A and B are shown apart, each in its own frame.
Chain A
């Protein structure tokens, strides 16, 4: 049966694709409406309806066309944009500015983000304190819910979190798709170890100073969320650093290389997620029997997770984020979603269906809140 599937790809007939979408349809409906859709506010109801149809159409298309990355990227990029929009509009509503003051830090009013997690581990273990100035439970983007969500996602998806859950990844993913051909093609893959160097540096310095040093000094996404008020030479330097990193790693390099350079060369959480790839049940496999070693997948991989050596060995590296770009690129279907312990080239359709259901459900539920909020704000603006 799997031989038939290899030849026909992962496409499904219309009715079958619709049937596969039905569980997603019901679960996302329950999550978005809470079981009781509220039609009292037309803008809210319309925003919810649009988001609900949007995510389910994407999921349906994944099954109907057999393509994964093409539709994943749409929701992933929109998630990043909508979250920044929601965060910035929240900040502006609360403080009239994207910047925060020392008073906001002292009052623990900073929204939490998952990139802080690697820096929290050592201080939490040794001092039983949370080093981020945010709300632990309750309020907007609280620490407890974010940590639990990330933990579940990283254990189930591994580095898949970076392509199916991270609300920043969509920025460099989006910019990496702007040009059709890369202008910079040769980048040494030694740089893919940089997130580990960053992870070591920021985890240790955060443990010693009890300050999340990555957020304080490095994080490029402050450019699209919030940042410290510029009041001194030091805070001006910090602003210069994050603006340069955003411009360089999130905008310019992804456009030039067609790779997600921030995720590949800087993100310390990406390093942790890479390690968790060792425990997740899902993986991407290479079927040596059908692989023709054309290396198109190596070129397509946005995270330097595939090299020619990997293809010859028939093994995807631990850096894989399961975005599906290589799977979509391979015309022979030699590279496919798989489950650990199951030989390559077998149970391809089952593995893909299972992975897609889990990962898409995560991004659909995780992103729906910010997409609905953004849509609601836009609808309120126009009507």
Chain B
């Protein structure tokens, strides 16, 4: 649960760094008030939660067949952690902060009311090593309930960065929030690099 939460927290900060500039204008469009932004945000988060529960179920059922070997259980997440760590560090040091944001697709949606739902779908399904890791995590759980808990922790962690959004219009120093997001992403990258290497060594020793 802890790992899933930290994973979500890091994924969320990476999301803020990469997609923030694409998603924010939609979620805070025009002169929308705090109430409207909060409703859109709630819809966006709810969509993500539903998608994650679906993925949790799918991951657990498919994982029963794939991850029966205990060494594979350590080594696969270990490699994924390292890939994710490299990605996070790259995001935080890259000057082009929104190169691959999957939420860009939302530009094709004309219906304003559907935008938060579309954003929720593309944001939760957007290809990212963090999603792969949490899918692996869900797949290696003993029961489907544990898989749901892992995805829920991932959801809570990744949603944290979006919570100040309704107040974002009133925050004077938005750039500071973004800078902290960039640094938190880099920091998470280092944490996951360590975690990945520890997993790999642990897996190899146990194997």
> Residues of A with Cβ closer than 8 Å to B?
190-191, 193-194, 196-198, 200-201, 204-205, 208-209, 217, 233-234, 237, 241
The answer to whether B34 has its CB under 8 Å from any CB of chain A is no
- A312 → chain B, closest Cβ, in Å? 19
Contact status of A193 and B153, CB under 8 A, knowing A205-B6, A205-B9, A237-B194:
no
Q: Is the CB of A201 within 8 A of B5?
A: no
Q: Is the CB of A193 within 8 A of B2?
A: no
Closest A residue to B176 by beta carbon equals: A193
In whole angstroms, what is the CA distance A91 to B55 when docked?
Answer: 49
| Residue of B160, B194, B198 touching A204 (CB-CB under 8 A) | B160
Determine which residue in B1, B160, B183, B186 has the highest number of CB atoms from chain A within 10 A of its CB, and name it: B183
Q: Is the CB of A197 within 8 A of B198?
A: no
- A118 → chain B, closest Cβ, in Å? 15
| Residue of B1, B184, B197 touching A201 (CB-CB under 8 A) | B184
Q: Is the CB of A193 within 8 A of B179?
A: yes
Closest B residue to A233 by beta carbon equals: B202
Closest A residue to B185 by beta carbon equals: A197
Q: Is the CB of B194 within 8 A of A241?
A: yes
A-B contact pairs, 12 of them (CB 8 A): A191-B183, A194-B187, A196-B180, A197-B180, A197-B184, A197-B186, A201-B184, A201-B188, A204-B160, A205-B9, A237-B197, A237-B198
Mark interface residues in B170-203 (1 if CB within 8 Å of A CB, else 0).
Answer: 0000001001110110111001001001100110
| Residue of B157, B181, B198 touching A234 (CB-CB under 8 A) | B198
Q: Is the CB of B180 within 8 A of A200?
A: yes
On chain A, the residues within 8 Å of B181 by CB distance are 197
In whole angstroms, what is the CA distance A209 to B157 when docked?
Answer: 13
On chain A, the residues within 8 Å of B194 by CB distance are 237, 241
Mark interface residues in B143-160 (1 if CB within 8 Å of A CB, else 0).
Answer: 000000000010001001
Mark interface residues in B125-137 (1 if CB within 8 Å of A CB, else 0).
Answer: 0000000000000
In whole angstroms, what is the CA distance A233 to B186 when docked?
Answer: 24
Q: Is the CB of B2 within 8 A of A208?
A: yes
5 more A-B residue pairs beyond the given contacts A193-B176, A198-B187, with a C-beta to C-beta distance below 8 A: A190-B183, A197-B183, A197-B184, A205-B5, A233-B205
On chain B, the residues within 8 Å of A200 by CB distance are 180, 184
Q: Is the CB of B205 within 8 A of A190?
A: no
In whole angstroms, what is the CA distance A197 to B17 when docked?
Answer: 13
On chain B, the residues within 8 Å of A241 by CB distance are 194
In whole angstroms, what is the CA distance A200 to B9 when docked?
Answer: 10
On chain A, the residues within 8 Å of B157 by CB distance are 204
In whole angstroms, what is the CA distance A193 to B179 when docked?
Answer: 7
| Residue of A193, A208, A237 touching B180 (CB-CB under 8 A) | A193
On chain A, the residues within 8 Å of B205 by CB distance are 233
- B189 → chain A, closest Cβ, in Å? 12
In whole angstroms, what is the CA distance A180 to B17 when docked?
Answer: 39
On chain A, the residues within 8 Å of B191 by CB distance are 201, 217
| Residue of A190, A196, A208, A237 touching B153 (CB-CB under 8 A) | A208
In whole angstroms, what is the CA distance A293 to B198 when docked?
Answer: 51
Closest B residue to A265 by beta carbon equals: B183
In whole angstroms, what is the CA distance A193 to B177 when docked?
Answer: 9
In whole angstroms, what is the CA distance A241 to B2 when docked?
Answer: 19
In whole angstroms, what is the CA distance A209 to B160 when docked?
Answer: 16
On chain A, the residues within 8 Å of B188 by CB distance are 201
